[in-house]
Every structure is written in structure tokens, then in C-alpha cells.
Amino acid sequence: MEGADNLISSQTSVGPAKVRRRSSSAVEPLSGSMNMTTAQLLTFRAFVKETIKDGALPFAFPDPVGGPALLVRRKAHAISAFGVDWRVNLTLEVLP
């Protein structure tokens, strides 16, 4: 997991830039990959297309470090052959 980019800076006439938070909560990026069988890949593709409407709707996703489920949106995914199976690389946005 990466930290959220929630800072904004303003140049000053003299000295270092002023830095402040953009907002009190921010979207955090989360990326990873999963190996899937062909049946699992077909289920994943149907989930993306029909259930979350190509990523427009958020969904619950297990926290990779064991905490409570995260509310996320799909930002992107890429599918590649992995032996007789498939590797799906996911990029998600963890919503506040």
C-alpha cells in the first residue's frame, strides 16, 4: 500500500514553500496481482462489467494486512497469460 498524495504546496517569495493538507481525508492507492484460473477470470470480468459497472461503483475488498474490509473502486486492471492460468494486475483506490 502506498500513502495518499494529500499535500499541496505554495511558493513563497523567500524561504521554503508552504505545505498543507489538501483535505482531511484522501483516496489511497492500492495495487497488487492475483493469479486466476480461466473460470475465475470469467467471473472477475463479469464482476467488473456488471456488478461494479466498469469501476463506477465501489465494493468491499479484503485488507491485505488483515484489518477490516476496505471500501475501494477499481482504477485499472491488466490481464496476462501466466502458464495455463492468468495473472490479473489490479490498481484500486481505497476510499475514505
DSSP 65: T
Q: Which residue has the higher pLDDT, 2 or 50?
A: 50
Q: Residue 87 is placed in which grid cell?
A: 495473472
Each residue's pLDDT tens digit, 45-96? 999 999 999 999 999 999 988 999 999 999 999 999 999 999 999 999 999 8
Distance CA 39, CA 85 (A): 10
Each residue's pLDDT tens digit, 54-64? 999 999 999 98
Cα–Cα nearest to 34, from 82, 72, 94, 93: 82
Contacts of 78 (CB under 8 A, 6+ apart): 88, 89
Query: Is 94 within 8 Å of 71 (Cβ atoms)?
Result: yes
**Domains of the chain: which residue ranges?**
26-94
Q: What is the pLDDT of residue 12?
A: 82
